Chains A and B, each alone.
Chain A
Amino acid sequence: MLKSTAKLDDRSISLRQDLVRLLASCRRGHVGSAASVMEILRVLYDEKLRYDSSNPAWPQRDRFLLSKGHGCYALYLFLAEKGFIPQDELLRVCTAEGILAGHPEHHIPGVEFSTGSLGHGLPVAVGLALSACLRQQSHHVYVLVGDGECNEGTVWEAALCANKHGLSNLTVLIDYNKMQCFSTTTEVLDLEPLTDKWRAFGFAVREVDGHDAGALSRVLAEVPFGVNQPSALICHTVKGRGFRSMENNPMWHHKNGLADADIEMLYKELETEA
């Protein structure tokens, strides 16, 4: 099985410093998941998605759904960087004054759909992709799901449905870090052989090192991967990537009450990555 071996480049380090800055403000959240999806979102927002942050409802925009809504701190960084939301919102996460919660809400500019409960994003993405077909629109629908999320039956119901309709305008990205809240995906509910599963459900499947921005860029340039069939990109990632104490550590799935010492430790661990 492909393993992520990519070294983090300066931009990826910088993004994680922004993540720690956000954490230093709100002191809680699904940190490991945010680090896991960082490069996937980076390549989507830097290169792949068509959007207009001054007009988030632009009809021709590509649709992106973060179905694993608990990875939203990474998403918030890009929404701020690309101008959907003010930068200072990143310092008001989970406060009475802020617009950003511990899961992304659809009233946030740039967020298509509220997520947080797992297994919702892919069915909604199927509806969006069908709608684009009905209206003969050319935009693409991307949905990022977690590996733990693939425990949900609705993911596979929606996969059947996407295949039935030959939705080549739909790409599902799987954040395959092989960890979930309790333990490894192998121990909790094994997904293997995951590539074969998506292929058997009718998807054109590729695999990639999910922390290798160059590789992500190259493979996403080839979307759609097949003809008249939906695409699936299995992104091999590391939960908590970039933070030694967090990597593959389920205790960092969600954290409360982060102390100053924790924040300092995270900054220092990033220095060793640089």
Chain B
Amino acid sequence: MLSKKITDFARKIIGLDRERDATPTRRRSDKGILVFHHTSEVIKAESLLKQAGIEVSVKGPPPDLRTGCDLVIEFPLVAQLKVSAILQDARLAPLKTLPMQDLLLEPVSLFQVKDFGEYLMVRAANMKMTIDKSDLRVVNVSGGGCPDVPYLAETLVGRTLHDLPPPRSLGHTLCGYALQLAYEELLRRCPG
């Protein structure tokens, strides 16, 4: 029930965005929303995210979404990883984090694994991480398109799987998040 209300609400917002948009047609939203139980959490989260330099805004919910979700926070979807980290640090868990585009979308959950003999590569969504099987050293990071990808590659390549900082602690974008998934899959396959 709540899920349906959230869906309906977000679709209304998307509709409003399209009306305001001067550019043509099928623009997709690059925003996500954070849904919390209580207004106090929304205010605290807004403050934390703004302090971190993330462009967020609080939206008033429609009357039919007054079952515990009194406010939502709109945020740039690409910054989801950073947003999650900030809220996690503050022990401020949103009820839901959803892309505005289509609330039925789910993050990628399929991994593609390729064995090169001495090396093992795991791909999650658009990100790939490759390790040397003999010493579990990360030898390459590839794929992706957000600017933290080359930075993550520079930081992670050469370190061993069990010693490196999790990509989510360094990344800021959905590409960074995808790399985190590839890293977790490698950890699962190579428990050390």
Answer yes or no: do A and B interact: no
What is A's interface to B at a CB cutoff of 8 Å?
A: none
Interface residues of B (CB under 8 A from A): none
